[in-house]
Structures are given as C-alpha cells and as structure tokens.
Structure 1
Amino acid sequence: MSIPIPSNEFDRVIRLSEYDLDYTDLESQFKDLAKLAAKVAGTEISLVNLIDSFSQWSVSTHGLPTMQMPREDAVCSYTIMGEEAFEVKDLTKDERFNNKFYVKDDPNLTYYWGIPLKDERGFNLGALCVMDKNFKELSPEKTDLLKIIADEIVNRLKILLSIQQLKSKMSDMKQNNKRVAHDIRGPLGGIIGLAQVIKEQGKDNSLDEVLEFIQLIQKSGKSLLELADDILSENFQETQKPQINPHTELNLELLKEKLLDMYGVQAKQKGVGLTIDIEGKDLELPFNKNKLVQVIGNLISNAIKFTSSSGKVELKMQLLNKENEQNTLEVQVKDNGVGLSPEKIDEILQGGAKSLKGTGGETGYGFGLALVRHLVIGMSGTMEIKSVPGEYSLFTIKLPV
C-alpha cells in the first residue's frame, strides 16, 4: 500500500537537508523530551522521528533503541501530512498498519498518537509520537503538553541549525585569515628583501640615518612575517596529524564509518551487501562535512532500493588533489540492480525524474535523486550517471571540499 506524500515534499526534504543533521548523533539532544513525552502520555514508548526522502530516523527514543526504518513502514509518514495530531487507537484493526512488523511482532504495538514537528517555515520535518501495547485515552491536557514538547523539539532543532551556521561562518573566517596571511607574506617578503639590499649597500653610500631607518623596517617586517606564519600554522606544526573538528569536518575514514553506521542496517534488512572503499593517500585530511551525508546517503538508499536481495552496492571515495586548487571529493556508488534507461538518466539529470517502486516493493517518492541533484548543483559539484538496464547503475559525483 502506497503512503501519502505531502504536497510540498520536495521543498520539505530540501529544508530538512539545510539543517545538515547527523541522525546518529542526536539522541542526547532530545532524550529528556522523549522521556517526558512518554511520562506525560503514560505510554511505554515515545519517539522523536525525522523523515527524509527514504527513511524515518528515530533520533531519540524512550522504551526502544534508536532505529531507522523504511518510510513506507512508518505511521509518522501519515502524521506529517497534516497540521494536527494523528491518532490510531488500534493498529491491529487498521489495514494500513496491521501487517507492520512492530504490530505483528515484538513490541506488538496497539496504540499510536503523533504530532508533526513543524518548523517556523511551515515544513513538517518529522513527528513526535507516543506508542503503547495497550489502548490509551489521552486527555486534552495531556495532548496540549505533548504539543508543547513538540514545539520544544523544533526549538532545539532551530538552535542546532543556528549553531551549525555560526560554526560555518567561523570556519569561513578561519579560511579568510589563511588567505589574508598568504596575501601579505609576498609583499612583506619583498620589503624585507629590499631592506636587506639597501642595508648591504648603505655603508658604501654613508647613509647612516637611512640605514638605521631601513633596519627598523626590516625588523618590523620580520615581526609581521612571523605573525603571518603563526596564522598559517594555527598553533600546530604542519608535520603533525591533521586535527578534526567533529562539528564541521570529516575525513575519508570518518565518513566511511558514519555511512556504514547509518545505512548498513538498511542494506542488511534487505539482504543487500554494502561495501565502502576509500582510495588515495589523504585518508586523514580534514574537509568540510557540509551536507555530504545527505548527498551520499540518498545515493546509497536509492541504490539499495533498486537492488534485489543478495545483490550488492559498492561505494568508492577519494580526494582528488591538484596543486593550487581546492580539493575535490569524488564518490562513486554502483549497484547491480535494475539499471536505468538513457531516457530515465536524462530525466534525473534534468531534475524531472518520476517515482518508481523498488525491487522489494518499496514505495518510490521521486525526491531522493532530485534532492541529490539539487544539493550537488548548489555545492558547485557535478553528477554523472552510467547504466546498463538489468545489469548495473553507476552514480559519480564530484564535490569541492
């Protein structure tokens, strides 16, 4: 059964991507609110869920471990359709949900109540929900409190976004300091060199006062040059191991680990082999993580969706370095799934791709690859697609980092 899709879905997933959230690192941010929601409702379980193009991410939970599930399995996919709370009094009697694993098997849920997490721009980023094995009756007072908790979750997401933007600006300032330092080193070197020449010839010309003045210029110039070197070194030697700022940066090894943590379960659930290889020598070189997980994650989810059980998805990453040019991250995602026709490839690259069913009957939304294309273009990157129908698909993106 296909689930409903919000009319503003493409703008909604773009908005969620702007938060640039690490879904695996948010539990502590909302753990208290998830627990409070369960206590208020009197339920065994509560979830803080964010819903992207393919998946529902339970980023913080009470009564269950954090998890990821296909979007078509999530009750909250219905919750984000509206403005108000969505309630299902008996999941076992609702044909939309009575065959879901969490109803038929452990934890054998019966009751659901959820409220959209709507941000200030009007986009439902996900939902706060409470669930239980037994029927519950929530009073108006309890539902009002749950709405207040949902508002606080959105407020914290807004704060995380503001912090992310501030850190990005600080990173830009740091890079600007480096550029300024590089710019002043050349002229200062020239001044010092000229002063040295005049100093060497000054006695022959008996220019004692000029010589003294030039010596002062030389001394001041050296001090400024040392200051520029301090800015460039940023208090550590270039020979030391590059340091990672976990809030704004990744390296190839950390990116590989994060992608396996986030999407390995999805692949395992479908019986698809997922491998990630990193190439080149710059495995520990830091680079800006801006939206990389959103871009690559959507490619991985899409590949898994269109690969049959026992198939494989292979990802390769490397940093391409050219002297005096910005580093480029190259990512290749290849699957041995259903493949793409030339017409379908053209649709994707033109931004007009339509939704298709996955090999396991997964609902297609038509927004995952559109989001990737949108983000790649916005990051001044490129995307190429090669495919043979019935054999493989290969997506290659290159992003300046």
Structure 2
Amino acid sequence: MESPNNPNEFERLLALADYDLDTIELEGQLKDLTKLAAKVAGTNISLVNLIDAVTQWSVAGVGMPVMQLPKEDSVCQYTIQGDQSLEIKDLSKDERFKHKFYVEDDPNLRYYFGVPLRTSSGHNLGALCVLDTKDITITPEKADLLKIIAEEIINRLDIIKSVNELKSKVKESIEKQEQVAHDIRGPIGGIIGLAQIIKDQGTNNQLEDVLEFIKVIQSSSQSLLELADQILSTKAKEKAPKQLNLQNEYNLQVLQEKLKNLYGVQAEQKKVKFSVELVSKNLETRFSKIKLLQILGNLISNAIKFTPEGGSVSISLSLEEKNYSNRLKAKINDTGRGMTADQIEEIMNGESKTTKGTSGEQGYGFGLPLVKHLIDGMGGVLKIDSEVGKYSAFEVIIPV
C-alpha cells in the first residue's frame, strides 16, 4: 500500500534538517519523557520517532530497543500527516499494517497511539507513540497529558537546537576575535618599526617635539601589540574552542564511526555490504558537523535502498586543504540500479520523482533534492556519475 503523500513534505524535511540533530545522542535527553509517556498511557512501550525522507529513527524509548525502520513500514508516517493524534486499536486488523513484521512476529504489536511532534512553525518532525501487545484505553485526560509530553519533547529539541546555534556563534565570535588580533599585529608591528626609525632619525636631527610625539605612538602601539598577543592566548581560545569541538565538531574518525553506527544496520538488514573508509592522513583535524549527517545520511540511505541484496555500498572520506581552508570530500558508491541522464539532471535541478527501491522500498522523491539544496546552501559541490543497471557514484565536496 502506498504511503501517504504530504504536499508540504519538502518543507517538513527542511525543518527537520534545520534542527541538525544527531540521532545517536538524543536518547539520554528524551528517555525520561518516554518513561513518563508509557506510565501515563499504561503501555509497555513508548517511542520518540523522528522521520526523514527515507527512515524512521527511534531516538529514545522504553520497552523496545531504539531502532531504524524504513519509513514506508512505520505507523508514525501516518501520524505526521496532520496535527491530531492517531489511535489504532488493533494493528492486525488494519490493512496497512497487519502484514508488517512487528505485527505478525515478535513483539506482536496490536495497540498504537501516536501524537505528532509539531514545531511552532507547524512542521511535524516525527511522533511520540505508545504501543502494546494488548488493547489499551486512552482516556481524553491521558491523551491531553501525552500531547503535553509531546510538546515538551519539541521544547527540548528546540533547546538542543538553540544551544548548538549558540555554540556556533560563540565559536565564530572567537574565530573573529583571533582574526582581528592576527590582522592588527602586522600593521601595528609596522608602526612600531617605523616609529623606531623616525625616533632614531629624530634624535640625530634634535627634533625633541617630534620625538615626544613618536614616543607616545610607540608606547601606544606596543600596548596594542601586547593586547593582540593576549587575545591570541586568552582562555577563550585555549579552552572554549576545545570544549565546543567535542560537541559541535567532528574529525574524520568520529564521522566515520557515526556513519557506520547509523547506516550499518540498514545495510545489514538488506544484506548489502557496507564500508566507510578514510583516505586522508589528517585524521585529527576538526571541522563543523553542521548538516553533514543530513547530507551524507540521505545519500547513503538512497544508495542502500537502490542496491540489491548481495551488492555493496562504500563510502570514502577525506579532508584536504585548498586556499588555506579545509574541504571535506565524501564519495558514496553503490552497485545498485543506477540512474539515467534525465534522472541525474532532475536531481541537479532540485527535482526528483518517486521510485521504489530494489526490495520494494517506497521512494519519496525528496531525499536527493534536499541534499542538493543543503549542499548549495553551504557553498559545496555535488557530482553524480551513474550507469543504469550497474552503479551510482556521488561525490560531495563541502567547505568546512
């Protein structure tokens, strides 16, 4: 059965990408709310699910391991279509879900109640849901409490987003401070040197008045030079960036592990060989993580989706310096069905049509245009090479 079509899906995905969430790091911040939701509802299971173009990510939960699920297999894909709660008394009697593995097999789910996670701008990022293997009654009072919990989840996501934005602004401010200090050191050093020359010449010419003036310039310039040195060695430089880096930046090794942990499961479920390799020597250089998981994740998910069982998806990561700045280069290669020249052109023009994956996975036509949009916004480059029935190769180059 076809998944529901949301006319504002691209805007919803942009809103989710704007939060720039790391799904691995959210469980600790939302676990208590999932416990509260299960207690309020009287269910054994509660999950917080975020839904992108391809995948439902269970980022926190009780009674069931957090997991990844193809979007077309999820119940919450229907919850996020509106602003009201969705209740399904018996999943086994619903044509949309009765043949899903989580209904026919362990854990044999039956009851579902979902509340959309709706932002202040009106976009549903995902859903808070409670589930059970038996029939449950959710009273209006309980439904209101679950809605309040869902609002608190959004509040916490907003806080995480604000904190990350603040970290970026603080780091940017520190970098500007360093740049100012760097920029003024040269001119001020020149003034000091020139003042010394004039001073020496002035002594020979007995220009006492000029000498006094030059001495003031020299003294002031020396003070500015010392100030610049203090800025460069201040604790804000020594400590704050390091603390920010730990939470708001990656190096290649960290990015490699993130991609393995996030997408290795999808590949394993589909029996597709999956690898993430580093082809760069500067492994410790840190760079901003902003939007990287959204960009690379969509490309990797699509590669897995369109690669048949027994095929392979390989990623190579490198960091190179050009014109005194770093560029992250990522290559995603698959042995999937490939694309025609027209399909590639549609993607590069920010357009795409829905197609199904090699195992019948539902396509949404939003993932790749979203990637192109994000890369363009970061001043990056997307290159695509493909041959129908053989392979697809994506290369992403992003200034970081």
Shorter-chain-normalised TM-score: which range? over 0.9
Instruction: Report the 3-state secondary structure (helix = DSSP H, G, I; strand = E; otherwise coil) of the residue aligned with 2:342.
Output: helix
Change (3 A) 1:278 1:229: farther
SS of the aligned residue for 2:395 comes to strand
Deviation at 1:202, TM superposition (A): 3.8
Query: CA separation in 2, counterparts of 1:41 and 1:242?
Result: 43
Partner of 2:58: 58
Q: Alignment partner of 1:106: what SS?
A: coil
Deviation at 1:49, TM superposition (A): 0.7
- The CA deviation at 1:329 is 1.3
RMSD (Å) for aligned C-alpha atoms: 2.0
| Superposed CA offset, 1:127-177 (max 9, x none) | 000001111111111111111111111122222222222222222212221
Which region of structure 1 is more displaced relative to structure 2, 34-43 or 23-32?
23-32
CA distance in structure 2 between the aligned counterparts of 1:230 and 1:56, rounded to whole angstroms = 49
Q: Give me the identity figure in percent.
A: 56
Q: Which amino acid aligns with 2:174?
A: K
Range moving further from structure 2, 180-189 or 264-273 = 180-189
Decide whether the 8 Å contact of 2:174 with 2:237 is kept in 1. no
Give the Cα–Cα distance (whole angstroms) in 2 for the partners of residues 358 and 125 of structure 1: 23
**Residues 85 and 115 in structure 1, CA contact (< 8 A), matched pair in contact too:** yes
The equivalences for 1:181-196 within 5 A come to 181-196=181-196
> Aligned partners of 1:214, 1:250: CA distance in 2, in Å?
49
Distance 1:80 1:180, change over 3 A: same
1:151-170 superposed matches below 5 A:
151-170=151-170
Say yes or no: does 1:348 pair with 2:310.
no
Give the drift of 1:208.
5.0
* 2:334 match: 335
Contact 1:49-1:126 within 8 A present in 2 as well: yes
Q: Partners in 2 of 1:8 and 1:369 — Cα distance?
A: 16
Distance 2:231 2:258 in 1: 32
Secondary structure in structure 2 of the residue aligned to 1:351: coil
SS at match of 2:107: coil
Q: State the distance in 2 between where 1:397 and 1:234 align.
A: 36
In the TM superposition, 1:305-344 aligns within 5 A as: 305-324=305-324, 326-344=325-343
What is the letter of the counterpart of residue 144 of structure 1? Answer: D
CA contact under 8 A between 1:89 and 1:110: conserved in structure 2?
A: yes
Check whether the contact 1:244–1:286 (CA below 8 A) recurs between aligned residues. Answer: no
Partners of 1:359 and 1:144 lie apart in 2 by 42
Gaps spanning 5+ residues in structure 2: where? none
CA contact (8 A) 1:53 1:365 kept: yes
Verify the 8 A CA contact 2:174 2:236 in the aligned structure 1: no
Cα distance change, pair 282–235 in 1 and its aligned pair in 2 (3 A):
farther
Q: Tell me: CA distance 1:189–1:50, structure 2 relative to 1, closer, same or farther (3 Å).
A: same
Segments of structure 1 that go 5 or more residues without pairing to the other structure are none
What is the deviation of 1:236? 9.4
1:243-291 CA distance string (max 9 Å, x none)? 7623321111111111111111111111111111222232111111111
Contact 2:51 2:125 (C-alpha < 8 Å) held by counterparts: yes
Aligned partner of 1:301: which letter?
A: S
State the match for 1:201 in structure 2: 201
Instruction: Give the equivalent residue in structure 2 for 1:176.
Output: 176
Residue 369 of structure 2 aligns with an amino acid whose one-letter code is A
Query: Number of aligned pairs?
Result: 398
TM norm structure 1? 0.94
Equivalents in 2 of 1:34, 1:242: separation in Å?
A: 33
Q: TM-score, normalised to structure 2's length?
A: 0.94
Q: Structure 1 CA distance, aligned partners of 2:349 and 2:297?
A: 21
Describe the SS at the equivalent of 2:247.
coil
- Structure 1 residue 310, shift from structure 2 partner: 1.4
